[in-house]
Amino acid sequence: MPERQVNGRRLVLHVSDRDGMAWGSIDNGVTGDSVWLDRSWDGGASWEGLLDRASVPASWTGTRTLMYNVTDPVHHRRGLIRACGDAAAVTCTDWIYPAVCDVLCDGAGATQANGDAQPVPPATLSGRTIRLHTDLNGMAWGTVEAGGPGDEVWLDRSWDGGASWPGGSSLGRTSTPAGATGTGTTLFATRDPRGRHFGGAVRACGREAAHQEGSCTAWARPVPGRVRAAADALMYDYDPSAAWWPTSWWNSATTLTALLDSGIREYDWVVARTFDVNRGTFAAGERGTDPVEGNFISRSIDDSAWWGLAWVAAYDRTGDRRYLAMATTIASYVHQYWDTRTCGGGVWWDRERTYKNAVTNGQYVRLTASIHRRTPGDTLWLRRARTAADWYLASGMVNSANLVNDGLNGSCRNNGGTVWSYNQGLAIGGFTEVWRATRDSRYLDAARRLADAAITSPVLTRDGVLTESCDLSASCDDNQKQFKGVFMRYLNDLARATGAGAYQQYARRQSDSVWTAGRDALNRIGQRWAGGAPNQVDWRTQASGLDAVVS
């Protein structure tokens, strides 16, 4: 914003977009002059005043405030901020960033729209039709039709899914001109990358000229493509302060991996932020039931391994070797629980060595092979990957139907536990990666057998749609909500490795079903990909669904 002059003093608002912080300064003044910030959460209608009011000390000619957050993405509040000064008179700068800017800024002409979708049914009012329009750039506008002069239309915009819309009401309000039967608003953005607000919701509202009452469409989020829409809805729940998806530790690791799978470069900052904030130590209760002991390690071996796989994906995306180094550190920790004294091998599920199961060993196979392929001259991790893959194939966890049961019993035999999609997927992904590392066809053959069984067996697929056993009951728990996404991640990997049409077609079927039957107008994806009510929805189901639409 332009600086202000007040009785010869220079009043400036400073902003660091990278940090989302602002501060004010006053210069060329005298002792007693002061400067402060105002911050508004409702578009400037009201504000928190006198933030960090600072006075020029004796013998100085200026001073500045401390820094304040411009925005509050954690609580889905979009802020405005200004600097004010008192030098025998009070003046303020303008509010910073009153318009939201993404590909285009608020107020762009409707002729600049990139396409025209109508994500929700129109509203009607006294014979008028009120429509919400969105485009492929995440811009929105409203129209009123079949009316007369004086009819009005506008947009409401909410950053919290339609729960509230302070500072976002009556956007672009316009009246139908004389001689016309309808009109439309200008374009408004639904994403605020600068303020780290994603997945903004909009609705179109209108009023007939002769009455005060109005009518609105339902709230919706634009669909700039399936992957982008699903990822934006997922980012709605990311906490950029604590740098995770509260409040599930391992789920945050595989959710980060899903975000990496999306390929959206604009979210690369999330990778670095999550790494930098969470690589330290956390007491029990801060990130999960167990303490986190640094380097993403805890007593739950599988929780640690999920983070190892996430940092492999981060390395692949960025080329930053600190992520590969972290993945290797985690893999070395997991390897400490490889134990040949029980069942001839395999990794224990927890530090207390109570259970050898499919999830931990599927992760270990994938992780060891991945690190080998990214470490020049390595032989150690290759040997471990071969050993782990051979042990897994001989362990008995894969049953006669080529489905993976949950683990081994005390006699080192298949325990007949539930066939979960993520165990099936991890095995597919592990054997596919070992095949890449060794070019030994028996590993790829194993991955194919497991994939073929999963996409044809009614245990995991019903009417062509991937179905978890808990989908058929009242609900799935917070862990189970993400299992199907893990399966799709590694089935897609096998499809890329083989080019097999059957896997590609199955993946497309999941994406189509999720999008047409398992999604609402806010692009929230439910647990049941075939749809149906009730359909649990949270960020875990969203991450799982993102891996479905990535295909």
Tokens of 506: 């199955």
Q: What is the pLDDT of residue 61?
A: 97
Spatial separation of the C-alpha atoms in residues 195 and 180, rounded to whole Å: 38
pLDDT above 90 for 310: yes
Spatial separation of the C-alpha atoms in residues 46 and 99, rounded to whole Å: 17
Spatial separation of the C-alpha atoms in residues 477 and 380, rounded to whole Å: 38
Q: What is the pTM of this model?
A: 0.95
pLDDT tens, residue by residue, 114-136: 999 999 999 999 999 999 999 99
Q: Using pLDDT thresholds of 50, 70 and 90, give the confidence band for residue 364.
A: very high
Spatial separation of the C-alpha atoms in residues 382 and 369, rounded to whole Å: 6
Whether the CB-CB separation of 404 and 424 falls below 8 Å is answered with yes
DSSP β-bridge partners for residue 414:
408
Q: Using pLDDT thresholds of 50, 70 and 90, give the confidence band for residue 455.
A: very high
Q: What is the pLDDT of residue 426?
A: 98
Residue with tokens 């039957």: 517
Q: Which pairs from 403-408 meet CB under 8 Å and 24+ separation?
A: 403/450, 403/453, 403/454, 403/457, 403/459, 403/460, 404/358, 404/362, 404/450, 405/358, 406/357, 406/358, 407/349, 407/355, 407/356, 407/357, 407/358, 408/343, 408/346, 408/355, 408/356, 408/357
Q: What is the pLDDT of residue 148?
A: 97
Beta-carbon contacts of residue 505 (< 8 Å; ≥ 6 apart) = none
Residue 146: Cβ within 10 Å count:
12
Is residue 498 helix, strand or coil?
helix
pLDDT above 90 for 1: no
Q: How far from the centroid of its chain's Cα atoms is residue 472's Cα? A: 27
CA atoms within 13 A on the CB side of 203: 23
Percent of the chain with pLDDT over 90: 98
In one-letter notation, the amino acid at residue 345 is G
Whether the CB-CB separation of 405 and 399 falls below 8 Å is answered with yes
pLDDT tens, residue by residue, 472-524: 987 999 999 999 999 999 999 999 999 999 999 999 999 999 999 999 999 99
Domains of the chain: 3-92 (2.60.40), 110-216 (2.60.40), 460-550 (no CATH)
Angle at 511 between CA 538 and CA 366, to 5 degrees: 80
Q: How far is CA 481 from CA 22, 38, 398, 434, 545, in A?
A: 40, 43, 23, 28, 10
Q: How far is CA 287 from CA 249, 260, 322, in A?
A: 6, 21, 22
pLDDT above 90 for 551: no
pLDDT tens, residue by residue, 250-277: 999 999 999 999 999 999 999 999 999 9
More confident residue, 308 or 19: 308
Q: Using pLDDT thresholds of 50, 70 and 90, give the confidence band for residue 421.
A: very high
Q: How far from the centroid of its chain's Cα atoms is residue 177's Cα? A: 43
Q: What is the pLDDT of residue 474?
A: 79
In one-letter notation, the amino acid at residue 189 is A
Q: How far is CA 204 from CA 54, 186, 200, 247, 385, in A?
A: 44, 12, 14, 34, 56
Q: What is the DSSP string of 61-77?
A: S-EE---EES-BGGGTB
Q: What is the pLDDT of residue 445?
A: 98
Is residue 41 helix, strand or coil?
coil
Report which of 366, 364, 368 is spatially closest to residue 346, judged by C-alpha positions: 364
pLDDT above 90 for 440: yes
Q: Using pLDDT thresholds of 50, 70 and 90, give the confidence band for residue 353.
A: very high
Q: What is the pLDDT of residue 343?
A: 98
pLDDT tens, residue by residue, 69-104: 999 999 999 999 999 999 999 999 999 999 999 999
Spatial separation of the C-alpha atoms in residues 382 and 388, rounded to whole Å: 10
Please compute Rg for the chain using Cα positions: 28
In terms of Cβ atoms closer than 10 Å to its own Cβ (0-12, 13-18, 19+), residue 79 is buried
Q: Is the peptide bond before 534 cis (omega within 30 degrees of 0)?
A: yes
Q: What is the pLDDT of residue 74?
A: 93
pLDDT above 90 for 439: yes
- Output the average pLDDT for the chain: 97
Whether the CB-CB separation of 466 and 418 falls below 8 Å is answered with no
